[in-house]
Amino acid sequence: MEAKPKILAGTLYCCNICKTKPDQLSHHKSHLTTQKHIFKKKCFEQCINTSFFNIYNFHQCKDDTSLCKKNKIEEFEKDTGLKFIHGNKMCHDAIRDWHYSKDALLDEEFPNTIIPLETSFETKEGYENSVKHIIEVNETVTIINEENNKNEENNKNEENNKNEENKKLPFINKKIINLINEIKSDIENYDMNFFINMAVEEQEPYVIALIMYKLNYKNICLKKIDHKIIHNKMNKIMKYNDNCWIYKDTINNDNSMNIRNNLRSTISKNISPILEKKIKEYTETSNEYMALTKIINKLKLTMFKNEVMKVAEYIFTTDTL
């Protein structure tokens, strides 16, 4: 008789956008492809943008209060179709009510939305990344009953980690993933010349991500953080997992998104200069010179940097400090 798969009791795979709570991951993944979810997701994104407009506008114009007010009035007139007249009490009351309604819209339409701590509205890129992260966190919330046997949970996590490796890096084959793991486990014994030679051989994002790890592994990591909540239906303490960029052995005053952005900036600030210095050792007709020229030019491309950061998220992830 074929053995039935063991189900971890009390585990729910929630879509916090649509409020679905299937107990099987396959059902949750199917839900994410439905037209209902896609439509609600677009509504959710619009509510996020609406509710956080005032915060974003404040950061964009924090050194120019007149510009902040101007942007706010323009957004008010665009939303309501009303003309704002300074000094008119009805207009000031209307813009006040509009302001409050925008701030409260997300909470009213999507109550109990999870807002990660590592949100940043100080730059356009930070704002866009934060909106994307809020959607991702709420789209898939894995809630696990705290009373479940800890060993079962650990075994399940180990199995999931192995199965998820290829899913996290779909553009990299298993051989490369094994190479990344091998180098990461013994990173102290690899010098920069080793990685430069790798870059000469292969002008790929994973090589740059490994160089990034070599330069920053002592200071930065991507840590899995457990958040606890009260699950109303089961009336028990539950938790969901989130990943957070943190500084090691340092008080983390920066939020996760800022740390990630700072790490990304090292591609241009630190890695490119290393390669540009190395290329001077070769003649312009050599294979090494042409290979390094190719990778240096790639480092200027936003799409290539995005691919580097995808691999970096995998490499920098740790469960312990």
What letter represents residue 236's amino acid?
K
Q: Please compute the mean of the pLDDT values over residues 222-246 and round it to a whole number.
A: 61
For 13-34, the pLDDT digits (tens) are 788 899 888 778 888 889 999 9
Q: Is 99 exposed, middle or buried (0-12, 13-18, 19+ CB in 10 A)?
A: middle
Q: Please compute the mean of the pLDDT values over residues 201-216 and round it to a whole number.
A: 94
Q: Please compute the mean of the pLDDT values over residues 147-152 and round it to a whole number.
A: 50
Element (H, E) at 243: strand 236-247
pLDDT for position 157: 55
Q: Please compute the mean of the pLDDT values over residues 193-210 and round it to a whole number.
A: 93
User: CA nearest 162: which of 177, 147, 141?
Assistant: 177
Q: Which residue do the tokens 């930065």 mark?
A: 220
Q: Please compute the mean of the pLDDT values over residues 175-188 and round it to a whole number.
A: 92
pLDDT for position 107: 72
Better-scored residue on pLDDT, 122 or 46: 46
pLDDT for position 132: 87
For 44-73, the pLDDT digits (tens) are 998 888 777 666 665 555 555 565 567 777
Cα distance between residue 203 and residue 69, in whole Å? 48
Of the listed ranges 48-62, 165-179, 275-289, the one predicted with least confidence:
48-62
Q: What tokens does 130 get?
A: 């934060």
